[in-house]
């Protein structure tokens, strides 16, 4: 019995000469993308598709470096907030200026100080032109910022006291990453690739994303780009992009997020909670229980304008009430007010030596309310009877 060929079945010649379908037309492109992704995975440990970076234009390195130096406290604050640090921006400025701030954990303060030192080291490296995408620079930055978090800071995993074979794999990965970056012509893409690869590979025990962020910033500034600031308010977006990177090795979302952050500079005031200046930064002159010399005003301040108490300070002693050696620190009661005392260097209105004055401050040992000159401190005085005022 002979089975007839179905009508829909073409003969061999027709089958060979048929036109390729649309799906077959995309197979070479898909194969090429697959080969590209394989090469990316082999060299960097992550893969990505095309990312639009055309809206970001480079400038000159010196201008980018100056802007980085001017915004260094804000950069440290954003990096600390992304790690869950509770310091506010004014408090970060205080810590970087060497002023201690209370009400926070010691670990948080050490983290802020370490970040400030690491950003300062990067500033010096780029400023002196010694920054390079190499292992020694990365180790130095990680050693500074993670010195309080891990005993093996500044070394790849497995390079410490307990060596493991994993260190050879990490060093080989870093070498292939350097070679891939050297073949990439776009410096902005180089910075993005390095950040994503270092964050995914995790070369160090602690501080991997912060170290990758510093290295990315160094690559950008060395090529005239402004630093990419990741606002603390967008921490959830960063966590989602990093989670996608770790789960799928796809760095496209994280790269697009970084480019978006670079295109919109954050406002340090609006990107976080409302900040209030601490007491020690509110004003430099109004420190508690102290009078600071004002050289532009010859050291003269009015302590309380409401009651007319005028205090004349001295350059040699900022917290003393300078009297007149010729008049032995004389004082006069001002009739316009009930209790103020006025110190006058020239002693034009001094009542010293006036026996007729009932409230005179004469230098008399028999008078209980006399002003006794202190040889060790020429600026001391005693108030009149019935009025005690403690001045600090």
This prediction has a pTM of: 0.63
- pLDDT at position 152 is 85
- Taking 90 as the threshold, does the pLDDT of residue 77 lie above it? yes
- Taking 90 as the threshold, does the pLDDT of residue 351 lie above it? no
**Residues facing 311 on adjacent strands:** 301
CA distance 160 to 33: 39
- Tokens 């006069």 — which residue? 332
CA distance 103 to 345: 45
Helix 235-248 and helix 72-82, axial crossing angle in degrees, nearest 10: 60
DSSP state of 342: E
The helix (H) or strand (E) run that includes residue 161 is: none
CA distance 120 to 344: 50
Tens of pLDDT, residues 236-288: 999 999 999 999 999 999 999 999 999 776 554 444 443 443 444 344 444 44
Tens of pLDDT, residues 303-338: 344 444 343 344 444 444 344 444 444 444 444 444
Query: All domains of the chain, ordered by start, with CATH?
Result: 44-263 (1.10.3290.10), 288-392 (no CATH)
Tens of pLDDT, residues 79-102: 999 999 999 999 999 999 999 999
- DSSP-based three-state secondary structure for 166: helix
């Amino acid at each position: 019995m002979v089975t007839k060929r179905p009508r829909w079945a073409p003969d061999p010649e027709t089958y060979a000469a048929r036109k390729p379908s649309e799906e077959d037309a995309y197979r070479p492109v898909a194969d090429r993308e697959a080969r590209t992704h394989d090469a990316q995975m082999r060299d960097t440990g992550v893969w990505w598709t095309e990312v639009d970076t055309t809206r970001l234009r480079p400038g000159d390195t010196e201008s980018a470096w100056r802007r980085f130096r001017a915004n260094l406290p804000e950069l440290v604050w954003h990096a600390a907030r992304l790690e869950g640090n509770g310091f506010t921006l004014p408090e970060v400025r205080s810590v970087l200026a060497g002023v201690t701030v209370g009400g926070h954990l010691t670990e948080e303060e050490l983290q802020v100080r370490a970040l400030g030192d690491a950003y300062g080291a990067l500033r010096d490296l780029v400023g002196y032109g010694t920054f390079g995408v190499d292992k020694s620079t990365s180790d130095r930055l990680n050693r500074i910022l993670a010195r309080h978090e891990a005993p093996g800071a500044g070394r790849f995993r497995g390079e410490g006291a307990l060596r493991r074979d994993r260190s050879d794999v990490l060093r080989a990965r870093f070498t292939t990453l350097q070679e891939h970056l050297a073949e990439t012509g776009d410096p902005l893409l180089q910075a993005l690739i390095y950040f994503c690869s270092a964050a995914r590979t995790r070369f160090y025990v602690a501080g991997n994303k912060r170290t990758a962020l510093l290295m990315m910033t160094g690559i950008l500034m060395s090529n005239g780009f402004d630093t990419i600031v990741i606002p603390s308010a967008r921490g959830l977006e960063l966590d989602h992009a990093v989670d996608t990177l770790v789960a799928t090795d796809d760095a496209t979302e994280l790269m697009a997020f970084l480019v978006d952050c670079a295109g919109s500079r954050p406002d340090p005031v609006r990107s976080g909670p409302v900040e209030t200046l601490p007491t020690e930064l509110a004003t430099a002159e109004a420190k508690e229980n102290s009078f600071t010399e004002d050289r532009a005003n010859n050291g003269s301040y009015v302590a309380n304008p409401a009651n007319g108490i005028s205090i004349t300070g001295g350059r040699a002693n900022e917290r003393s009430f300078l009297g007149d050696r010729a008049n032995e620190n004389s004082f006069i009661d001002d009739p316009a007010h009930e209790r103020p005392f006025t110190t006058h260097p020239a002693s034009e209105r001094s009542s010293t030596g006036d026996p007729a004055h009932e409230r005179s401050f004469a230098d008399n040992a028999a008078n209980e309310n006399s002003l006794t000159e202190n040889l060790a401190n020429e600026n001391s005085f005693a108030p009149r009877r019935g009025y005690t005022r403690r001045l600090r």
